[in-house]
Structure 1
């Protein structure tokens, strides 16, 4: 396997974890509004919009968890997409998610079509499958720690470019949106499965946030768009069953391996080739 091919495998293995787990992911177009947003009528005053978003923030912060379905789309040189379904918690950050429909997994020879991702204790773990585990001494959980992106490795730096400013905590996003000078009401939510109101606003770091708030005052959908470092990410998250149990245990240490260990093993394989 050539050097570039080896890096693509390493990148694919880590991208799905970093994009949706440690770094989180949300929609992004560099702070510009989605097409057609300006045509939506504003039926509530800014004060009313702030009140609605702040109330949703309070409810979400108290719930601390929910069942989620996330669709991540990343554009740029190393773009791709993945879908995540399961349970997510915040304060502290935990997640137990099934990964499906992933272009990153498709790029890995022998990788499972579906896999599992866990977030606990400030780290994210991805089950790489039995075939990949044969290359890592039988260990099948790849671990990426939150501070890993700051380690200076060129590949990790490229991988996380533009994603470090994206926060996975929906309550925090709502709190920031409520405090934004650009928050406004867009009108009724338009979706067969959603009844409620839509709000949007710009946040620092070139981030655009749109939230759909249901009649019960909880967010039912959040779309966040961010562009930085030549990479654009978009995360659309649907929420339900607030307060769902989110007790997540990290895999045993002897069943995990680090991203840098993966790179080292790939490098050794290239040397033998």
Structure 2
């Protein structure tokens, strides 16, 4: 009995594992994914059979993040007739954007005209004092603003006419004046008009040349303007007034011999 008491006692513990060892609980996750995929598949099949073509296109557009503007129907039949508010057909085109009213356009044009007129007058004023020659030439120039535009008037003086005798040939002073004015008005976009005026003759002539002379002088100044910086596209009209619009009450005054270069306001119609 004493000898047997030294025999070691062996306790064997058995570990119980639920289920098959090579599966564990991972199969549940896989099965859940499979069921979810099958449910999505059957839902897709149901949607394909239960929706119209327009509705399917609307659903497809919803899942297309690369399309910034819906070009097709949203699938509904509400106020937009199935179109999205971002549909290309419902967005305003560039040409359909609200345009300024006529009154607003006229106001903007008037403001731009005033800027152009001030630029021309300031440029003419800046010429004064540069030299005695320029100051003598500027004696022939006055400006005024009317409803028609800015009028630059070039007129004869008693001691210095701007055309040779009674012809349409400009003197050197007139050529220099016209060249300076052409460079100034070439910087504005307004149209130009040239008008010729002459004084009345002291006696009744058999053939009155006032109309012809006033017209040919205006044409000569138009050509000089274009040759010295004014653009041909700026020329709106050339007009002859003969002796019908004297500047002075005395119709025989040489002061009535003048050329008017008019910087027209915006909106003045072309005359051909």
TM-score by length of 2: 0.21
* Richer in strand (by share): 1
Name the structure with the higher helix share.
2
